[in-house]
Amino acid sequence: MPRSNSSKAFSRPMSFSETCVAAAVGVLNTGGRALRRLGIDGPSLELESLERAACRRAGLSDFGAWAYREPLERLLDAYHGEARLTTLGRITVREMLVSLLENLLHIEAERAADPSIESRPIKAPVFIIGLPRTGTTLLHGLMSQDPENRVPLTWEVMFPARRPHDAAAEAELRARTATRLEWANRLAPEFKRIHPIAPDLPQECIAITANVFMSIQFHTTHDVRSYEDWFEHDSQKLAYDFHYRFLQHLDARRPGKRWVLKAPGHLFALDALLARYPDAKIVQTHRDPLRVMASMASHATVLRKAFSDRAEPTEIAADWASRWAGALDRFLSVRDRAPADQFLDVAYDDIEGRPLETIERIYDFLGWPLTDEARGEMTRFLEANPKNKHGVHRYSLAEYGLDRDAELARFRRYCERFDVRVQT
């Protein structure tokens, strides 16, 4: 099976420390393959083993009434049958799943201790939604700079139920988050050149719904296509009911006046999102889908090759191009039935080229004032986070086996509807 050549997508060679980590990972995975030939799989990915580990770590046993077992069982079946996890992949997947279950335990315990959390209203949230790589991250980052806005931060999504009671406790959670992210950077050093991650940067909603194992996050990082097939056809009610409850939990920790959220993954479930948040406002971002598909394929390949024995870029690209096209079609069919004034369309070129003007347009749509303080913070954010801060991310359709004419035909209706310019 051909090896991934996605490293060509980046302009910086590996550092000495990254080379050392890569060598150690190689030794670990080689040893793991030898053990598997002897019938020894490594860390358990059985549901009951994961639940027991989470209960031991949390010192708790009530996962609440969430129907998380069906999605988790489907996910575990896909990990066993499709993901081709390396030894490192198996270790990291187990740690991730146990941590998510542990979050559920702590959330339920905190809500039992403080029933008032259940009654906190989440009013008129704003969702930034578009295909991957269309400027959603930059918009979210900019809007997070306004003190009047509330976004889920990476550290508090990672540790949602460890409510810090003083600055020292909060600093400790940020430090623990930074440690986890640093390990992620060591294992997949190319990733930060695609998508910035840091404890105090806004986090996507897919990391929220992952706590009940309802998220495209899993198929992005590992090949779990049977799970993803099921996920895309599920009603998503569990995901958005939990999402609302999660925001209530964060709101109890640090109340928010105006929630601003984002995830391309919402393309898969606009009907469920609007059922849970009928007063939501949607900012939809648009970019040449031919650029998007190559960038998205690079993103998924970088993540998968860190944890799997098999991460073939052309297969990943074909799979995700089909899925995102289908998601976009379903999203637009639901959008067509919703009130037109619930949506605002924003072009990627405007986000990149005229970010503050784009923010002004979004604020006008929302009926929010853009204060001098907010504008100043956004300006400083742009200065501190220039494009390609962590290196240039290069990619092409041909590199990922995508045919320009075929992709153009796939997305023609979308491009014509929103007057999206396609690369020549």
pLDDT tens-digit profile of 359-387? 999 999 999 999 999 999 999 999 998 87
Residue 45 carries which side chain, given as an amino acid letter?
Answer: L
Q: Is the pLDDT of residue 20 over 60?
A: no
Q: Is 259 helix (H, G, I), strand (E, B) or coil?
A: strand
Q: Which residue has the higher pLDDT, 63 or 291?
A: 63
Chain mean pLDDT for the chain = 87
Task: For residue 98, give the H/E element and its range.
Answer: helix 87-113
Q: Is the pLDDT of residue 24 over 50?
A: no
CATH architecture of the domain with residue range 6-15+121-417? 3-Layer(aba) Sandwich (3.40)
Q: Is the pLDDT of residue 89 over 80?
A: yes
Which of 126-140, 159-173, 339-353 has the lowest average pLDDT?
A: 159-173
Provide the pLDDT confidence category of residue 167 given band limits of 50, 70 and 90: confident
Q: What is the pLDDT of residue 34?
A: 45
Q: Which of 51, 52, 64, 159 is nearest to 108 (CA)?
A: 64
Q: What is d(CA 101, CA 25) in angstroms, rounded to the nearest whole number?
A: 26
Per DSSP bridges, beta strands 343-347 and 149-150 are: unpaired
Q: Which long-range contacts (CB under 8 A, 24 or more apart) does 369-376 make?
A: 370/146, 371/146, 371/148, 373/147, 374/145, 374/146, 374/147, 374/148
What is the percent of the chain with per-residue pLDDT over 90, rounded to a whole number?
A: 69
Q: Is the pLDDT of residue 193 over 70?
A: no
Q: What is the pLDDT of residue 210?
A: 98
Provide the pLDDT confidence category of residue 142 given band limits of 50, 70 and 90: very high
Residues forming beta bridges with residue 202, ordered by sequence position: 153
Contact present, 75 and 213 (Cβ < 8 Å): yes
pLDDT digits (tens, 9 = 90+) for 90-138: 999 999 999 999 999 999 999 999 999 999 999 999 999 999 999 999 9
Q: What is the pLDDT of residue 25?
A: 44
Residues forming beta bridges with residue 262, ordered by sequence position: 128
Contact present, 139 and 132 (Cβ < 8 Å): no
Q: Which residue has the higher pLDDT, 206 or 171?
A: 206
Residue 315 carries which side chain, given as an amino acid letter?
Answer: E
Structure tokens at 102: 């542990």
Structure tokens at 88: 């490192």
Q: Which residue has the higher pLDDT, 235 or 8?
A: 235
Q: What is the pLDDT of residue 38?
A: 45
Q: What is the pLDDT of residue 39?
A: 55
Contact present, 204 and 265 (Cβ < 8 Å): yes
Contact present, 422 and 336 (Cβ < 8 Å): no
Backbone φ/ψ region at 401: left (φ over 0), alpha (ψ -120 to 50), beta = left
Q: What is the pLDDT of residue 21?
A: 36
Q: What is the pLDDT of residue 11?
A: 42
Provide the pLDDT confidence category of residue 62 given band limits of 50, 70 and 90: very high
Q: What is the DSSP letter of 24?
A: H
Q: What is the pLDDT of residue 163?
A: 64
Q: Which residue has the higher pLDDT, 21 or 336?
A: 336
Provide the pLDDT confidence category of residue 87 given band limits of 50, 70 and 90: confident
DSSP string, 101-167: HHHHHHHHHHHHH-GGGGG----S-EEEEESTTSSHHHHHHHHTTSTTEE--BHHHHHSTT---SSH
Contact present, 291 and 317 (Cβ < 8 Å): no
Residue 204 carries which side chain, given as an amino acid letter?
Answer: E
Q: Is the pLDDT of residue 196 over 70?
A: no
Q: Is the pLDDT of residue 4 over 60?
A: no
Q: Compute the average pLDDT of residues 154-158.
A: 94
Q: What is the pLDDT of residue 424?
A: 61
Q: What is d(CA 147, CA 258) in angstroms, rounded to the nearest whole number?
A: 10
